[in-house]
A and B are shown apart, each in its own frame.
Chain A
Amino acid sequence: MRGLFLPILRHIRNDGISLAALSQDRYVSSRNTFAMETANSPNISPLDFASSPINKTLSSEQKVRHFRQMTQIRRFEQAAAKEYTRGKMGGFLHLYIGQESLAVGAASLMGENDHMITAYRCHAHALAVGMSMDECMAELFGKATGCSKGKGGSMHFFAPDKNFWGGHGIVAGQTPLGLGLGYGLKYKGLAGSALCFLGDGAVNQGAFHESLNIAALFGIPVVYVIENNGYSMGTSQKRSSAYKDCLAQRAEAYDMDWDVVNGEDFYEVRAKMHIAMERARKESKPTVLEINTYRYYGHSVADANHKKYRSPEEIEKYKRDHDPINLWKQRLLDEKILTEESAKEIDNESKKQAADSVQFADDSPAPTIESITEDVYWETDNNTEASKIGRHFFND
């Protein structure tokens, strides 16, 4: 049997089933042995993932650091949203606010041979792997000091030196690339994992299904992480996806392991991500994880309708009861490794950093016209012999 799988009734979630209620269901996939131990007992309390092996190893300093990272990400994005409305940046701005525990939880587990790739809602992943607020804000502003020299924008942050491969604008277009990162690891004989994030809207793209098939067929060490915030742009899950119990269940058809994760619980995100990453590293097998989460803002800041396709009450409920940063803060208060004062201090420092990054971006120079044709070809950028043969650019 593939899974002890109790109904999640995900399709009514948007009518009021909370993430917390979902998390108390026993949705457990078969090879998730950690959760299986307690899943069959009828009278147990909800699993506390604080006791999972990977979380037991977390030091107090690390726990506080992850609180700081989540806070920094939120303050960075709030500052970005403000500057966006002031006309400081062009294009789109897809905010991750409400989902911070996912990127930070995943990044907290990455080692030398673990790689990350995501879609266009990429600021949090970038900051979580260690990119600076300055280079990220400057990129949003379209400045030469941006992480992509002002050539990528909000949807296209990259940091190969930190094993972060974007930042991709086309829904599900990154899913075969994530497969390729895993393929590269396997080809080189490295025990690692490729973490490929996608939204719940991406699960209906063909490229994703092609990737799942190849991942299972070839035994690729990739973890597909569906960040399920309930809406593919303005279309709710029940209006966009056909499914039985949840989206990750589609992995079943590819004979692939999968699990559902309550994204508001930082411990649970880490615990289940860790299991999937270990499966990749040690067994060279793929996993699909569906992490339930919620975004407070629209699909992008330009999404003026986001309070029409969902109710203000729904948004407020998540902010009040399911905010991953507040819940993590409460955990750390309960564990007595954080105080209200120290939390406030971290928050203030994060705000200050975000404000400083706005200043940095504002003060930075724009790219030059000449730079437009740089970074197109590796050979011309490096002025190789090959680049001197024939015409590469066809300008006026």
Chain B
Amino acid sequence: MREIEYRDALNEAFDEELARDENVVLMGEEVAQYNGAYKVTKGLWEKWGDKRVVDTPISEAGFIGMGIGASMLGIRPVMELMFWSFHSVAFDQLVNNAACCRYMSGGLINVPIVMRGPANGGTNVGATHSHTPEGLFASFPGLKVCSPATAADAKGLMKTAIRDNDPVYVMENTTLYGIKGDVPDPADGDFTIPLGKADIKREGTDISLIAHGASVLRCLEAAEILQSEHGISAEVVDLRSIRPLDQDAIIESVKKTNKACLVDESKPFCGVSAQITTLIQEYAFDYLDAPIKRVCTIDAPAIYSKYVEPDQLPNAKRIVAQVLTIASSGSVS
């Protein structure tokens, strides 16, 4: 296995899909000649040219709607939002046209687009650039949403998203772009990861930490501390895909550990974790030894200050503290 950065794993996914399907086209602000604001698309314009890798003006409603319209004729646009936070200026296109055209046409149309870009806090860019809308978009039937935490998942999910015949919104993370991880060598064959399949990133027996995106890494850090300092064995369930959702993996883990702490960088009110809470209480109620707990982003717009933003987001310290309210040292089975 070789180690590459998350951004390079994405880049490899694009390169392979551009080669596989002539209808795949990358679009977005600065994705071509500038090589991408975060260098995720570096080198692709040089390799694939103007037709396949397209710089757009700063007109999210315009170019995203254009991609949706083009997808109706069989083009497969992979469109970058420089920040997912910018979704707000294209909301009509994202939730009316992308999500509903198939339905309103009685199934005559499908919209095979990928929307992608970073959706995260933690970089001190203030409230307007720190939104995490995975729960928001997952609440629209017709859309699919995933949020990879590792380089391999980023590549595998992106390739699947591009091949999917429905709109898939991929939420990446600027704090993950530079993190290296094992990714299978392309020489070893086509590597994809299905949507709707969770991954147990760490096995455990005492509590299930259920997360997606960068929060998975925070859970892994917390699991180390819980094990070494408190003798608590935490299982880390990485959802990877929000919709479709691997409900079975969640329920199986909770049935095994009998406790759940959901770690979710989105806000607590109606966030992804709220949906998962209701699924656990419905499908694993009799297996729970304690109330379901959550660690979400503290319920306020994203604060700018670098001194406190790390504590507004889920982190190992907050996760450990929350876990200890339901699974104290020495009392676990």
**Residue of A148, A174, A185, A374 with most chain B CB atoms under a 10 A cut-off:** A148
- Interface check A3, CB cutoff 8 A: no
A201-241 residues with Cβ-Cβ distance < 8 A to B are 206-207, 210-211, 213-214, 217
User: Total A-B residue pairs with C-beta atoms closer than 8 Å?
Assistant: 194
Chain A contacts for B247, CB-based, 8 A: 390-391
Give the CA-CA distance A217 to B105 in the complex, in Å. Answer: 31
Chain A contacts for B75, CB-based, 8 A: 180, 183-184, 187-188
A168 to chain B, nearest CB (A): 7
Interface contact B51-A168, CB-CB below 8 Å: no
Show the binding face of B for A, using Cβ within 8 Å. 23, 25, 51, 56-57, 59, 61-75, 92-93, 96-97, 101-110, 112, 141-142, 144, 160, 164-166, 194-197, 241, 243-247, 275
Show the binding face of A for B, using Cβ within 8 Å. 115, 117, 146-153, 156, 158-161, 165-170, 173-185, 187-188, 194, 206-207, 210-211, 213-214, 217, 373-379, 381-382, 384, 386, 389-394
Interface contact B246-A183, CB-CB below 8 Å: no
Interface contact A390-B103, CB-CB below 8 Å: no
Q: Which residue of B lies closest to A214 (CB)?
A: B62
Interface contact B65-A207, CB-CB below 8 Å: yes
Interface contact A170-B56, CB-CB below 8 Å: no
Chain A contacts for B51, CB-based, 8 A: 187
Chain B contacts for A168, CB-based, 8 A: 96-97
Interface contact B275-A394, CB-CB below 8 Å: yes
Interface contact A374-B107, CB-CB below 8 Å: yes
Partner of B73 from the list A146, A185, A206, A381 (CB cut-off 8 Å) is: A185
Interface contact B244-A391, CB-CB below 8 Å: yes
B80 to chain A, nearest CB (A): 16
10 more A-B residue pairs beyond the given contacts A170-B96, A376-B142, A390-B195, with a C-beta to C-beta distance below 8 A: A152-B104, A160-B109, A165-B72, A165-B109, A168-B96, A173-B93, A176-B63, A210-B57, A210-B59, A375-B103
Partner of B141 from the list A182, A376, A382, A386 (CB cut-off 8 Å) is: A376
A313 to chain B, nearest CB (A): 38
CB<8 Å pairs between A and B, sample of 13: A152-B103, A152-B105, A160-B72, A166-B104, A168-B97, A184-B70, A214-B56, A214-B63, A376-B103, A378-B107, A379-B166, A386-B196, A390-B244
A152 to chain B, nearest CB (A): 4
Chain B contacts for A374, CB-based, 8 A: 107
Chain A contacts for B142, CB-based, 8 A: 376-377
Chain A contacts for B195, CB-based, 8 A: 386, 389-390
Give the CA-CA distance A160 to B73 in the complex, in Å. Answer: 9
**Residue of B59, B68, B73, B96 with most chain A CB atoms under a 10 A cut-off:** B73
